[in-house]
Amino acid sequence: MRFAPLAIALVATALPLASQAQSTAPDADEQALLKQVQTDRRAVYAQNLGLTDAESTKFWPIYDEYEKKRQTLEERYIAMVNDFAAKYDTLTDDQAATILDERLEIERKQLELKDEYTRKIAKVLPGKKALRYAQLESRIQNITRRNVYSLIPLAR
């Protein structure tokens, strides 16, 4: 079973570089959509944090570093989902166990990364703005995951 809308849906819900199981290179439309999603994500923070110039100077480098590492994990997640999609009709218990291990490892690393960078941001922003950042990050992640999970069928 192919999840035809999966790649576009992942990108459209703020996940980077969704690829089809047979190809790792995003097409031009996916690249354009990815760039827009990344721009919009930055805009959400810029609009909602109300950073001063001094705060911006400290915040954006940390945020950019976090985003780069977060995107690496998102690409790994997409690869795992595409692996599941490719094996969906013939998935064995051993393959399912491997996919489950990968999923749990990715989720653990995502949580560790979020914790690490939220703490870094809390050191350079006032308490209320740091909390607002954490709230925004959680909301974006929750909305993204809800939308993505609704597209992925349960293993059979």
Q: Running DSSP on this structure, what letter comes out for residue 25?
A: S
Opening angle at CA 70, ends 145 and 113, nearest 5: 95
Query: Is the pTM above the cut of 0.85?
Result: no
Per-residue pLDDT at 27: 55
**pLDDT band per the 50, 70, 90 thresholds, residue 59:** very high
Per-residue pLDDT at 143: 85
Contact 9, 148 (CB under 8 A): yes
Residue 24 has pLDDT above 50, yes or no: no
Please state the rounded mean pLDDT for residues 139-145.
Answer: 86
Residue 74 has pLDDT above 50, yes or no: yes
* 13 Cβ neighbours under 8 A, 6+ residues apart: 143, 144, 147, 148
Helices (H), the chain: 6-12, 28-49, 53-87, 93-124, 127-149
* Cα distance between residue 134 and residue 114, in whole Å: 9
* Cα distance between residue 59 and residue 50, in whole Å: 11
The one-letter amino acid at 14: A
Mean pLDDT, the chain, rounded, equals 82
